[in-house]
Chains A and B, each alone.
Chain A
Amino acid sequence: MRDAEFLIEVMAGQLQALLVRRGIVEPALVGIHTGGVWVAERLHQQLGIATPLGRLDISFYRDDFSRIGVNPQVRPSELPFDVDDRHVVLIDDVLYTGRTVRAALNELFDYGRPASVLLAVLADRGGRELPVEANVVGTRLKLPPGQQIQLVGPDPLHLLIQAP
Chain B
Amino acid sequence: MSTTNLQLDRQGRLLHFLTVEGLSRRHLTEILDTAESLRGVAERRVKKLPTLHGKTVVNLFFEASTRTRTTFELAAKRLSADVLNLNIATSATTKGESLLDTLRNIEAMQCDMFVVRHAQSGAAEFMARHVKPHIAVLNAGDGCHAHPTQGMLDAFTIRRHKPDFPSLQVAIVGDILHSRVARSLIHALNILGAGEVRVIAPRTLLPAWVESLGVRVFHSPHAGLREVDVVVMLRLQRERMEGALLPTEQEFFQQYGLTEERLALARPDAIVMHPGPINRGVEIDSRVADGPRSVILEQVTNGIAVRMAIMSITLGNHARPVEEDA
**Residues in A lying within 8 Å of B, measured CB to CB:** 57, 59-61, 65-70, 72-78, 83, 106, 109-112
Contact = CB atoms under 8 A, between A and B. Distances in A.
B15 to A, nearest CB: 11
B50 A106 contact: yes
Which of A57, A67, A106 has the largest count of B CB atoms less than 10 A from its CB?
A67
A60 B30 contact: no
Nearest to A70: B316
A110 B319 contact: no
A74 B50 contact: no
B40 A69 contact: no
Contact of A65 (B30, B37, B51, B322): B51
Contact of A60 (B46, B50, B320): B50
B319 A65 contact: yes
Contacts of B313: 69-70
Contacts, number: 65
Contacts of B325: 68
A143 B173 CA distance: 62
Contacts of B30: 72
Nearest to A61: B50
Contacts of B241: none
B37 A74 contact: yes
A77 B40 CA distance: 8
Contact of A67 (B38, B50, B52, B319): B319
Contacts of A72: 30, 33-34
Contacts of A57: 37
Given A61-B50, A106-B50, A111-B44, A74 B34 contact: yes
B36 interface: yes
B49 A60 contact: yes
B45 A110 contact: yes
B48 to A, nearest CB: 7
Interface in B275-326: 312-313, 315-320, 322, 325
A73 B317 CA distance: 15
Contacts of B316: 65, 68-70
The 6 lowest CB-CB distance pairs between A and B, nearest first, are A69-B316, A110-B46, A70-B316, A60-B49, A74-B37, A60-B51
14 contacts: A57-B37, A59-B37, A60-B51, A61-B50, A65-B312, A68-B316, A69-B313, A69-B316, A70-B312, A74-B37, A78-B40, A106-B50, A110-B46, A110-B49
A67 B52 CA distance: 12
Nearest to B40: A76
B39 interface: yes
A67 B117 CA distance: 29
A73 B33 CA distance: 8
B49 A77 contact: no
